[in-house]
Amino acid sequence: MQKNEMAVIEITDIGVNGEGIGKHDGYTLFVKDAVIGDKAEVKVMKAKKNYGYARLMRVLEPSADRVEPRCAFARKCGGCQIQEMSYERQLAFKEQKVRGNLERLGGFDGEMLDQVMEPILGMDNPFGYRNKAQFPFGTDREGNPVTGFYAGRTHDIIANTDCALGVPVDREILEIILDFMKSEGISAYDEKTGKGLIRHVLIRYGFTTKEIMVCLVINGRKIPGAEKLIEKLTAISGMTSITISPNTRQTNVIMGDTYEVLWGQGFITDYIGTVRYQISPLSFYQVNPVQTEKLYSQALEYAGLKGGETVWDLYCGIGTISLFLAEKAGQVYGVEIVPQAIEDARKNARINRISNAEFFVGKAEEVLPEYYEDYAREHSGARARADVIVVDPPRKGCDQALLETIVKMAPERVVYVSCDPATLARDLKVLCGEGYALEKVRPVDMFPQTVHVETVVLLSYRK
């Protein structure tokens, strides 16, 4: 097929990024916004030798799995990729995404996966779940400030203050900020020129405590007339923290390196289960608290703690999983590369009166191997040990040196929490080639309406 050619196809599969897949005379086309079962008219936008990418022009016969999106901007916005797919079908897609990667990249047998895979943990209400949102600001053609989300694969802002995945108070906060900018003549940042003041606004909301944080990321050091904005924002019930984060670099990085309190305190608090956390503008904290509790409870169940175990929690962030584990373990050691996160982890341990959790700053792939070597030197060649190692790495997965050290330490159980099924499958293949057995796999839908899926895996040592 050629670029700009039209075709009518039936969608028979879903790609890893949520795009519909169909064929025209044996030629494979990937179609964004199409759902399995759709009969659709499409236009080829990019043609390669054996496959191409097409734009959905018209749905001629809708799939039984197609639903009306809750958000009017669902197709344009880059935030949701599969909002037009029924939630039941979304969950089935994500289960298959995890399974497909384990089979294709991990080399795991399908019959074995039938035995170890547990049903995906979904949500009762797959909307309004985000406790954190970052909104970019810009200017429309009439010169008015706007905010919303970027269109897919662009930095063009779709003006929308009412995101279907966010909490209702987001809209009220954004409207107040936009009105303030208009009345005070405060400009929005322009990525092309590097001029303008308001770059982004970060909003955090405590689902349990109902506390609210607003952090304005600015291209400067202060906001003229900020007291007027503070007056309006503090009238909102639950407002707890108003801060600014200066970021004067011409970069796509959203937050600055520091923040300054304009009103209230520099953090909000919230709970996952019975554990209380302090969350600053720069803290990493899972954005879906309902599913986070399910995710961490699953990790805790797989860890199988009885009360006296030594546990390492690698890539621990602000100690969210570590403190969950510490309630059941003998001793927990957490490792994270971000110093601010470790400060938060130690603070959160103190807040919860948890004394059996210790935290280290550094790369997990450096800290654990160094600990292993130092222990051997100090204990006449004895092997450092752990009963359980928990890893929750970034999208790129675990470093090879870290995997090798896990194998050397030979913990009885490894609990792997993953945000990327592909790198998960790669790392599991390594560990299962070194004496570990794949015991249980459970996907968790942390991000409904998107293609992303988290997975919790239990490995046991058999060698």
Q: Is 419 marked active-site?
A: yes
| Cβ-contact 123, 448 below 8 angstroms | yes
User: Rg of the chain over CA atoms, in angstroms?
Assistant: 24
- State how far the Cα of 359 lies from the Cα of 372, in Å rounded to an integer: 16
Query: Encoding tokens for residue 413?
Result: 């159980």
Q: 135: helix, coil or strand?
A: strand
Spatial CA neighbour of 75 closest among 178, 158, 7, 197: 158
Distance in angstroms (rounded) separating the CA atoms of residues 132 and 277: 15
Name, in order, each residue with C-beta under 8 angstroms of 377's C-beta and a sequence gap of 6 or more.
none
Question: Tokens 């955090």 map to which residue?
Answer: 204
Q: Where are the beta strands (DSSP E) in 127-274?
A: 132-139, 145-150, 157-159, 198-205, 212-218, 239-246, 260-264, 268-272
Who's near 96: CB < 8 A, 6+ residues apart?
A: 14
3-state secondary structure of 10: strand
47 beta partners = 52
Distance, in Å, from the CA atom of 208 to the CA atom of 26, rounded to the nearest integer, reads 53
CA separation, residue 319 to residues 347, 359, 443 (Å): 9, 8, 22
**Can you give the length of the chain in residues?**
463
The DSSP H or E segment spanning 345 is helix 339-351
* Catalytic annotation, pick one of 80, 163, 419, 432: 419
Amino acid occupying residue 134: Q
Nearest Cα to Cα of residue 204 among 126, 272, 274, 268: 268
Q: Give the number of C-alpha atoms closer than 13 A to the C-alpha of residue 58, restricted to the C-beta side.
A: 6
Concatenated DSSP letters of 234-262: TTSTTEEEEEEEE--SSSS--S-S--EEE
Active site residues: 419
